[in-house]
Amino acid sequence: MSLLSSINRKEIIENLKSTTYDLVVVGGGITGAGIALDAASRGMSVALLEKNDFSSGTSSKSTKLIHGGLRYLKQFEIGLVREVGRERAIVHKLAPHLVLAEKMLLPLIKGGTFGPLGTSIGLFVYDFLAGVTGDDKRKMLNKKQTLEKEPLLEGQRDVLNGSGYYAEYRTDDARLTIENIKTAGKYGALCINYVQVDDLKYEDGRVAGVRCRNIETNEAFDVKAAYVVSAAGPWVDTLRKKDNSLKGKRLFLSKGVHIVVPHERFPIQQALYFDVTDGRMVFAIPRQRVTYIGTTDTPYEGDPDRIPIGQEDVDYLLDAANQMFPDVNLEMEDVESSWAGVRPLIYEESKSASEMSRKDEIFESGSGLISIAGGKLTGYRKMAERITSLLGQKLAKDHNRSLKPSTSEKIPLTGGPFQNSGEVEAYRKGIGRKLAKLGLDPFYADYLVYNYGKQSDEILNKLNAFSNEPETALARAEAWYAIHHELALRPMDFFNRRTGRLYFNLPSIRRVMGPVLEDFRSYFNWSDSRLKEETAAVQEEIDWVSKFEYSAKAGKAVSS
Ligand code: FAD
C-alpha cells in the first residue's frame, strides 16, 4: 500500500492509531519534513502530522530563495550567514532540478544603502563565509557591464554606480517540502496531512504522544510516541501554551508579501536585489512567464492561517519597483497573483521586525516537549540534524539506543538523482522533445522538470489516458500524480502547493479547473454538493490572491 496516495488515507490513519512511534513530528512545513527525513534515515520510527496541507504555512510563502541572507551580514549574524551560506550548495546538490543557481544583481545607486567599497567587501565576506569558489565568486560590475546584464536599469543611468553580481539559488519551497516528505517516506516515515494535533498526551508527567483529529472526518484519535517535536512554525507557541510551558522567549510574527506580474510587463533579464526609499531592500525575480517582487516586513497579530494582503502592501511593492524601474510603470491591473507569509521570529525587545534575528532556537519543556522555531528555509537540513542529534542523546540515556550519524547531506531528494545541473539540462531537452510531439507549449518543459525532476516521465506517460487538448490533459495527468503519489487531498493542494500554478500561472487554473475538479470528484467519490463547495473554494482562493482592499482586509498589519 502506498503511503503517499490520498486514496489510501483511511488505511494510513489506521496505521497511525495502531503504532507506537519513536517520534511524532507536529507540522509539515520544511522544518518538520526535514526532521522526519533526518530522523527516519537515522533509524527512528517517525510519524509526521500536518493540520492543513504540507507546506501550507510559511513554507509555501517565502521568497523561494536558497540564500545566505546578505542583509544579515549588516546585522553581524556571522554564524547564521556561514551556516546557511554553506547549506546552499548542499541543498542544490540534493536536488539540482529544484534548487537552481540564480545569479543576483545588486545595483549601486548614488546615495543608496550600499556604496561600491562596502558592497565589494560585504559580498567578498559573504562568499568567503559560504565557501564560494571559482566562477561563482562575486564580481563588481561597472555601469556599462551592469546595463548589459540588466538593460531595464537604463532609467537609473545618471545615478548608477555599477553593481555587485553574486551567486544565490532559487527553488520552489512547497515542492522542496513535499520532496523531503516523500524521501522521508522511503525511510519508513509516515507523513499525513489534514490531521491536526489538538493536545498532548502525558504519562507520569512526560509527553508520550498526541491527541489529534482527522480534519476530513472530524474523528479524534491518539498517536503514541516516545518523543514529540513541534515544528509548528508560527503556531509553535500555541502548542507550548497547551503544554503549559510558554515561558521566557516567545514568537514574534512578521508578515511578508510578494506580488506577481506577467514577465512581459516587467521583463527583467535576471534576479535583482535593490533599495527601497525607506531603507529596506526588495527582490525582483523572473520566473518563467512571470516576475515576482517581495517582500514587505511588518509586525502581524492576526490569524497565521489566513494572512490578508492589503492594497497598501501591494502599493508598497509597486512603488518600490517603479522607483527603481520608472520606465516600466507597473500598475495595479498588472498584479496577477500574490502571497503573504509570516516569519516565526524569536522576539527581541526594542528591535523592529526587519532587525530581529532569523536564527533558529530549540525549546525543551519540563514535560519533554521539544519545539523548534525561527530559522530559514535554506537551513532546514541543519536544523533537522540538530533536532535528531538531541533526540539521539535522549534515546541513549532513556532507552540505551544509539542512532546512526546523519547522512542527509548525501540523500538525494525524490525527483532525482541528478549528478549536476548539466544532467538536469540534458533531461529537460529530452522532455522538451516529448512535449513537442504532444503539441504542448515548450514553456511546460521548464515547468515540469523544475517542479518534478525525473518524475516528469511518469506524468507524461499518464497523459495519454486523457483525451482533452494537451494543456488540460497535462493538468489532469499532474492531478492524478499529485493525488496518487503526493497526498494531495483538495484541489488547492494541487493548484497551489504541488504545482505553484496559483502564483506563477494563475490563468491556466481558469482554463483547466473544470476537468481537474471532475477528476477529484471521481477519485474521491464526491457528491454534487461537495464538488460545488470545492469549486467555490478554488474561486475564493483565486480572488484572495488577486483582489485587494485597503486596511480592512489587511487587518492588524502595521508598517514597522
Ligand atoms: P511552517 O512552514 O509554517 O510549517 C509549520 C506547519 O505546522 C504548518 O504547515 C502548520 O499548518 C502546521 N501546524 C501548526 N500547528 C499544528 C498542529 N496543531 N497540528 C498539526 N500541524 C500543525 N527562508 C529562506 O531560506 N529563503 C527565503 O527566500 C525566505 N523568504 C521568506 C519570505 C517570507 C515572506 C517569509 C515569511 C519567510 C521567508 N523565509 C525564507 C523563511 C522560511 O520561509 C521559514 O523559515 C520556513 O518556511 C519555516 O518553516 P517551518 O516548517 O518552520 O514553518
DSSP string, 281-319: EEEEEEETTEEEEE---EE--S-TTS---BHHHHHHHHH
CA distance 243 to 208: 12
Task: Among 221, 235, 255, 257, say which to mutate for ligand 1: greatest number of ligand atoms within 8 Å of CB.
Answer: 235
More confident of the two residues 359 and 192? 192
Average pLDDT over residues 248-252: 88
Tell how far the Cα of 180 is from the centroid of ligand 1, in angstroms.
14
Indicate if ligand 1 lies below 6 Å from the C-beta of 378: yes
Considering the chain, what is the average pLDDT of its residues?
A: 94
For position 353, what pLDDT does the model report? 67
- Give CA–CA dist 174/64, Å, rounded: 9
Atom 9 of ligand 1, residue of closest alpha carbon: 57
Maximum distance among all Cα pairs of the chain, rounded to whole angstroms: 72
Query: What is the Å distance from ligand 1's center to 360 Cα?
Result: 12
Name the percent of the chain lying above pLDDT 90: 84
pLDDT, average across residues 445-468:
97
Ligand 1 atom nearest 341 alpha carbon: 36
Residue 553 has pLDDT above 70, yes or no: no
Q: Do 354 and 255 meet the contact criterion of CB atoms below 8 Å apart?
A: no
The pLDDT score that the predictor gives to residue 559 is: 38
Side-chain-side CA neighbours of residue 481 (13 Å): 25
Q: Which of 122-136, 227-241, 249-263, 339-353 has the lowest mean pLDDT?
A: 339-353
- How many Cα neighbours within 13 Å face the side chain of 126? 25
The pLDDT score that the predictor gives to residue 551 is 66
Spell out the residues 6+ positions from residue 184 whose beta carbon is closer than 8 angstroms to its own. Answer: 33, 36, 37, 40, 41, 46, 48, 191
Non-local (6+) Cβ contacts of 423 within 8 A are 96
Measured distance CA(321)–CA(315) in Å, rounded: 10
Which residue out of 63, 307, 358 has the highest number of ligand 1 atoms within 8 Å of its CB and is therefore the one to mutate? 63
- Which amino acid does the sequence have at 96? P
User: How close is the Cα of 93 to the center of ligand 1, in Å?
Assistant: 22
Shortest-distance atom of ligand 1 to CA 30? 51
User: Which of 58, 214, 239, 362 for a ligand 1 pocket mutation test, highest count of atoms within 8 Å of Cβ?
Assistant: 58
Provide the grid cell at 437. Answer: 510531439
Q: Which of 61, 28, 23 is nearest to 39 (CA)?
A: 23
Average pLDDT over residues 190-202: 98
More confident residue, 71 or 436: 436
Q: What is the pLDDT of residue 72?
A: 74
Alpha helices in 229-296 (DSSP H): 236-242
